[in-house]
A = this chain, B = another copy of it.
């Protein structure tokens, strides 16, 4: 599927390896006139852009620096400006792809952008290309079965430990995003519930996008790492 003139694509590029993009994502990226690559204001380069380098030839690249603070006004202001650029380019009949790590609809900057485009660009000129999310890449590396039969999986940020504790009561698998800053507290909580032995964690080495992962019982200091995820297996329900 090639990128169409006057259309916008929110493209999930997966966890960071060039061969974990879908064929559709590669086709759209290769054929788009303009690529918008997000870069966190704390990062030296766009991790997403590094990951898709094999697919870049003469597309126009716009690196877009976004804020890393929990401020909805600053966030929407920032993405509103990107939405304006997209509207301008598509009105000139260009095709535009915004690339995003993981999946565009799972804890992703693309979601803000889609919000900002509402009412500005017709929905039929927008397409979302799904991508492999970090939890899927980590589970694949671990060969960790996430759910079968009647199992429930809950995915949430690992930011509020009280909420994390509650969630453990009502799922068989818990996936914690953004767990880097709280990793020691999460370890304590899982230890107190007897679940540390069933917990694994992973994060990306940003330079080369290699996934590092470990059993949480191992005493490694990986606290504070960006994009850390935790997988906790909390039993299984079978068929009832």
| A positions within 8 Å CB-CB of B | 1, 14, 17-24, 26-27, 70, 72, 103-107, 111-112, 114-115, 123, 126-133, 136-137, 139-141, 143-157, 159-160, 163, 166-167, 170-171, 238-240
Contact = CB atoms under 8 A, between A and B. Distances in A.
Contacts of A163: 150, 152
Q: Which 7 A-B pairs have the closest CB atoms?
A: A130-B136, A128-B140, A152-B156, A19-B24, A70-B239, A19-B23, A111-B145
Given A146-B105, A238-B72, A22 B160 contact: no
B129 A140 contact: yes
Nearest to A167: B152
A82 B35 CA distance: 44
A130 B132 contact: yes
A79 to B, nearest CB: 12
B22 A18 contact: no
Given A128-B141, A154-B155, 17 more contacts: A21-B22, A21-B23, A22-B22, A70-B239, A72-B238, A72-B239, A104-B140, A105-B145, A107-B151, A111-B145, A114-B145, A130-B139, A149-B157, A153-B155, A153-B156, A154-B170, A167-B170
A141 B154 CA distance: 22
A222 to B, nearest CB: 22
A14 B131 CA distance: 10
Contacts of A20: 22-24, 130
Contact of A143 (B23, B70, B126, B153): B126
A145 B103 CA distance: 10
Contacts of A126: 143
A22 B132 contact: yes
Given A20-B24, A20-B130, A22-B19, A150 B155 contact: no
